């Protein structure tokens, strides 16, 4: 079907998509040119470009609208969020993540509940006195959930997984659990009768959260194990590497959609699916498929993140929303400032106390969270982003359009907080990281990284960077580390390794499994290196 046969609305959609794709290309090019800039990162670049584009569209359209596409929650939750979360799980350093799992859960789950409580109570106390129209109890609680959802993309872009493994795993893990917890709380607020809150209802909410967390995690792990088993048994790679890549992508997406179908947490499901796939499935595919999947997942995640920030920048100037608050712009600014204050206080209320509790359980000094790291963890969670925007649209708009003044104030305030926190806090993030955590003089910490995770594949990758294996071979290894690895430590990780080697890998594959042409010299050298590294890491 040619362009000439398209109707007017279809043609305008094609024009809009062309412009949007061109803007995404511009974001990538400009982001590359600003790569060495100590202040900017891709998220802020996309936001600025979105704002500039919104101004141009606003002028061209005569002040009617500022965006090329109408915001859709389905677009965000069904198409844009899954690749971002899956890639996060696929690239995570599993040893660091699970070693700090209790602390991550404290920050991500308990901390989010504390932040939600403080923001909700503050909103009820202050906004009721301001007499913001049309807001009910459910709206105030929704505000607590909306502004409890962190966006740590900016911080993760400047933190180094190898130089600061503890900090990175805490910020990263908390971000994922936090998003899932915020969405679970938001859905609970919408689905429960808030007019009659009793102790039984409170326990029901808590039980519902644990049910969602456990079932979502099991579903994600199950989907990952199923993909590993299928690829291990059927040897797709002997005929087509495309089938291996396709089955991994589709199984990951299927896990997310199944979670949504059964009203579970798709974020947790696809995150743990990514972790399991990186541990088993990824090692069962051919060498070409490993490189392809690693970069395919990272590319999809990268484009989705740019898409979100670019759209948020354009939608920030949507005249429809601002027209409701033009008579009282001071109220909108005041609400935004109050909400930003709630975010600052709510975050501090759990980061420092929970860090203190976490440190009490740690014996080794290097495992404890020092004050500088606590400040960075607090700072990393101050930014609000796409999840907050999506939840605000869900609560206060109908199909992307606002019809009530009170709702319009909350939407514009959310946009203001997202823009301010991402751009102002985001700009300061990298200098703050350099100030509080100066680059170490040695790279000894890199030795402890997982050498066979997807992010550290043992052949040079498409981006031309050296692999971690080569790097770690050139770094002198201290004798104390060798002694530490030679002495088994009877921890949960130790027992899991024994169970994994004895039962899981023989069934589902993983490191050491030769999926394709085992007699080839390249495959033999690959797996000899893998076995050597596994022995060094775990024995």
Report yes or no on 25 lying in a domain: no
Alpha helices (runs of H) in 66-152, residue ranges in sequence order: 73-74, 81-91, 94-99, 101-105, 111-130, 137-146
Domain residue limits at 207: 72-436
Instruction: Tell me, yes or no, whether 447 lies in a domain.
Output: no
Is pLDDT above 50 for 500? yes
- Check: CB of residue 192 under 8 Å from CB of residue 205: yes
Position 339 scores a pLDDT of 94
pLDDT digits (tens, 9 = 90+) for 381-412: 898 888 888 888 888 877 666 777 778 888 88
| Structural domain count of the chain | 1
Residue 358 lies in a domain: yes
> Over the range 169-191, which residues count as b (16 or more CB within 10 Å of their CB) and which as e?
bbbbbbbbbbbbbbbbbbbbbee
Q: Please provide the distance, in angstroms rounded to a whole number, between the alpha carbons at the two ends of the chain.
A: 62
pTM score of the predicted model: 0.79
- Confidence label for 440 from pLDDT (cuts 50, 70 and 90): low
Q: Quick check: is 372 in a domain?
A: yes
**What's the CA gap between 199 and 144, in Å, rounded?**
20
Give pLDDT tens digits for 12-28.
888 888 988 999 999 99
101 domain residue, yes or no: yes
In a domain, 82, yes or no: yes
Whether the CB-CB separation of 237 and 289 falls below 8 Å is answered with: yes
Most confident of 201-205, 333-337, 343-347: 343-347
Q: What is the CATH number of the domain that holds 245?
A: 1.20.1530.20
Secondary structure element (H or E) that encloses residue 294, with its range: helix 287-315
Q: Is 398 helix (H, G, I), strand (E, B) or coil?
A: strand
Q: What is the DSSP string of 383-395?
A: ---HHHHHHHHHH
Q: Model confidence over 145-169: pLDDT tens digits?
A: 999 998 877 677 767 777 778 888 8
Beta strands in 221-380 (DSSP E): none
- Sequence-distant (≥ 6) Cβ neighbours of residue 5 within 8 angstroms: none
Contact predicate 113/186, CB 8 Å = no
pLDDT above 50 for 228: yes
Query: From residue 327, how far is each of 336, 338, 488 by CA, in Å?
Result: 16, 19, 69
Q: Is residue 248 part of a domain?
A: yes
- CA R_g for the chain: 24
Are 310 and 20 spatial neighbours (Cβ–Cβ below 8 Å)? Answer: yes
For residue 291, is pLDDT > 60? yes
pLDDT bin (cut points 50, 70, 90) of residue 193 is low
The residue ranking higher by pLDDT, 200 or 53, is 53
Quick: pLDDT tens for 445-463: 444 444 445 554 434 333 3
Is the residue at 464 inside a domain?
no
Tell the residue number behind the tokens 């440190």, with chain if given.
Answer: 359
For residues 415 and 316, is the Cβ–Cβ distance under 8 A?
yes
Q: What is the pLDDT of residue 446?
A: 43
């Amino acid at each position: 079907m040619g362009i000439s046969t398209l109707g007017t609305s279809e043609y305008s959609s094609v024009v809009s998509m062309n412009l949007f794709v061109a803007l995404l290309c511009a974001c990538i090019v400009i982001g590359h040119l600003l790569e060495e800039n100590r202040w900017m990162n891709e998220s802020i670049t996309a936001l600025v470009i979105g704002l500039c584009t919104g101004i141009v569209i606003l002028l061209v359209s005569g002040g009617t609208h500022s965006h090329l596409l109408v915001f859709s929650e389905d677009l965000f939750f069904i198409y844009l969020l899954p690749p971002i979360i899956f890639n996060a799980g696929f690239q995570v350093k599993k040893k660091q993540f699970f070693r700090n799992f209790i602390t991550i859960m404290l920050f991500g789950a308990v901390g989010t509940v504390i932040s939600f409580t403080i923001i909700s109570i503050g909103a009820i106390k202050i906004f009721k006195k301001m007499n913001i129209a049309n807001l009910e109890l459910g709206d105030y609680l929704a505000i607590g959930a909306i502004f409890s959802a962190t966006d740590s993309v900016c911080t993760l872009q400047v933190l180094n997984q190898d130089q600061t493994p503890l900090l990175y795993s805490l910020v990263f893990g908390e971000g994922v659990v936090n998003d899932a917890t915020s969405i679970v709380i938001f859905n609970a607020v919408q689905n429960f009768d808030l007019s009659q809150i009793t102790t039984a209802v409170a326990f029901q909410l808590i039980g519902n959260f644990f049910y969602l967390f456990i079932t979502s995690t099991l579903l994600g792990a199950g989907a990952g194990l199923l993909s590993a088993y299928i690829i291990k048994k059927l040897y797709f790679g002997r005929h087509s590497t495309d089938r291996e890549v396709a089955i991994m992508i589709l199984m990951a997406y299927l896990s997310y959609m199944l979670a949504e179908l059964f009203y579970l947490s798709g974020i947790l499901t696809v995150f743990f699916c990514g972790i399991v796939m990186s541990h088993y499935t990824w090692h069962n595919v051919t060498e070409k498929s490993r490189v392809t999947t690693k970069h395919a997942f990272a590319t999809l995640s990268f484009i989705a993140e740019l898409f979100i920030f670019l759209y948020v920048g354009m939608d920030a100037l949507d005249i429809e929303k601002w027209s409701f608050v033009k008579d009282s712009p001071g109220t909108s600014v005041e609400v935004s400032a109050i909400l930003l204050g709630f975010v600052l206080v709510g975050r501090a209320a759990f980061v420092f106390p929970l860090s203190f509790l976490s440190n009490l359980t740690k014996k080794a000094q290097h495992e404890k969270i020092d004050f500088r790291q606590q400040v960075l963890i607090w700072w990393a969670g101050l930014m609000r982003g796409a999840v907050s925007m999506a939840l605000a649209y869900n609560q206060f708009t109908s199909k992307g359009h606002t019809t009530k003044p009170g709702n319009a104030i909350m939407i514009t305030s959310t946009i203001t907080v997202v823009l301010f926190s991402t751009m102002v806090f985001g700009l300061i993030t990298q200098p703050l990281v350099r100030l509080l955590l100066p680059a170490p003089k040695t790279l000894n910490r890199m030795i402890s990284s997982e050498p066979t995770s997807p992010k550290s594949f043992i052949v040079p990758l498409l981006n031309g960077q050296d692999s971690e294996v080569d790097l770690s071979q050139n770094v002198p290894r201290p004798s104390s580390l060798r002694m530490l690895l030679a002495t088994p430590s009877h921890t949960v990780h130790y027992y899991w390794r024994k169970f994994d080697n004895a039962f899981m890998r023989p069934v589902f594959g993983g490191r050491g499994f030769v999926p394709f042409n085992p007699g080839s010299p390249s495959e033999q050298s690959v797996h000899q290196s893998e076995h050597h590294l596994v022995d060094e890491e775990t024995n």
